[in-house]
Amino acid sequence: MKINIEESSGYSEVEITIKCASIDENLERLISGIRLFNSSISGKKDGSVYFLKPEEVLYFDTVDERVFIYTSDGVYETNLKLYELEERFSGTSILRIGKSMILNLLKIDHISPLLNGRIQAVLVNGEKVIISRQYVPGFKNKLGL
Amino acid sequence: MKSILMRDFFLGLMISFTLGVLAVALILGIAAGSGTMQLSLIWQVFILSAICSLVNLVYRSEQLKFLWQSLIGYVLTTGAIMGCGNIFGWYDYGGNSYNKSSFLLLSLLGYSLCYLITWMMIWRVNKRRKAAWNSSLAAYKERNRSEG
């Protein structure tokens, strides 16, 4: 893989262009990493605004049409809609798992299949979340199952 | 959710009705040496199948754990089978040539054994699936470690 870097004061924003014959698994991971690197999210907590790295996020959840970001350190509110977050993290380890929830798969400790076609995921902080039946195929596909 | 429950109910009804008719035909063939089945037996099996399919929706519960689902499912289906068997006179079938209480006990033991075997099979399949899925999850996390 060749890496070309053009440095010039004429550029106002960093732009990454990938030229390839086809996108394979390794390239997908690279793109996913770049997307995550470039996607800090702002969240409000106690009247202050914080910028959170995606890898800090456990999951996003909607309560009364308000979207909250759950991390190991606390809960933050974001103005972004769930579908906007889903689009932003498309192709990364952050995946929609229910009508009101998006989960960071890297924060799952272990999973258990449930009899009714759903999956229970136990997170690294001990919290349990349910992957809805509708989103199970996408989840399994992500894990290569 | 409602449509999923309806689908599961009718799917369960279709499966249990087919199995029920086959089981009754088998029992009649073995115990009574009969090659025919009364029409009344078919709708009786249909009613029991409908009740059991309704009870089996307990497995779709999002609140109950697997153990509770199994326990409630077992108690209710056993009750339904014993109750229907008694109401429909299945235990008096063939002119009561068998001792009724022994027949009841035998059917209870037979059903319990089938339930236990099925339960253990589901448990084993789930256990294997859980191990395979967690292994895939670990591999996925390993591949994406740089992200997290």
Residue B148 scores a pLDDT above 50: no
Amino acid in position A80: L
The partner residue sitting opposite A55, judged by closest CB among B126, B133, B148, is B148
Question: Rounded to a whole number, what is the distance in Å from the CA of A59 to chain B's nearest CA?
Answer: 13
What's the predicted TM-score (pTM) here? Answer: 0.67
In this prediction, residues B70-95 reach a mean pLDDT of 83
Cβ neighbours around A20 below 10 Å, total: 8
pLDDT in tens, B92-132: 765 555 667 777 788 889 889 988 998 899 889 989 999 99
Structural domains for chain A: 25-143 (2.40.50.1020)
The per-residue pLDDT for range B65-75, each reduced to its tens digit, is: 778 888 999 99
> What does the mean pLDDT of chain A come to?
88
d(CA B33, CA B48): 24
Residues of A in contact with B132 (CB under 8 A): 145
Beta bridge partners of A41: A52
Query: A91's torsion region: left (phi>0), alpha (psi -120 to 50) or beta?
Result: left
pLDDT higher at A115 or B80: B80
Confidence of residue B146 (pLDDT cuts 50, 70, 90): low
Partner residue opposite A115 with nearest CB, options B59, B130, B134: B59
Q: Domain total for chain B? A: 1
Predicted confidence (pLDDT) per residue in A35-70, tens digit: 666 678 889 998 888 888 888 999 999 999 899 999
Establish if B12 belongs to a structural domain: yes
Mean pLDDT of A68-92: 91
pLDDT at A92 over 90: no
Range of the domain at B112: 2-143
Render pLDDT for B11-34 as a digit per residue (tens, 0 to 9).
888 888 888 888 878 877 777 777
CA–chain centroid gap for B34, Å, is: 26
When computed from its CA atoms, the radius of gyration of chain A, rounded to whole angstroms, is 17
For the CA atoms of chain B, what is the radius of gyration?
Answer: 20
Nearest residue of A to residue B143 by CA position?
A29
Give just the sign of the alpha carbon dihedral B121, B126, B132, B135.
Answer: negative
Taking contacts as CB-CB distances below 8 angstroms, the residues of chain A near B122 are: 115
Which whole number is the average pLDDT over A89-116?
91
Residue B148 lies in a domain: no
Q: What is the pLDDT of residue B1?
A: 62
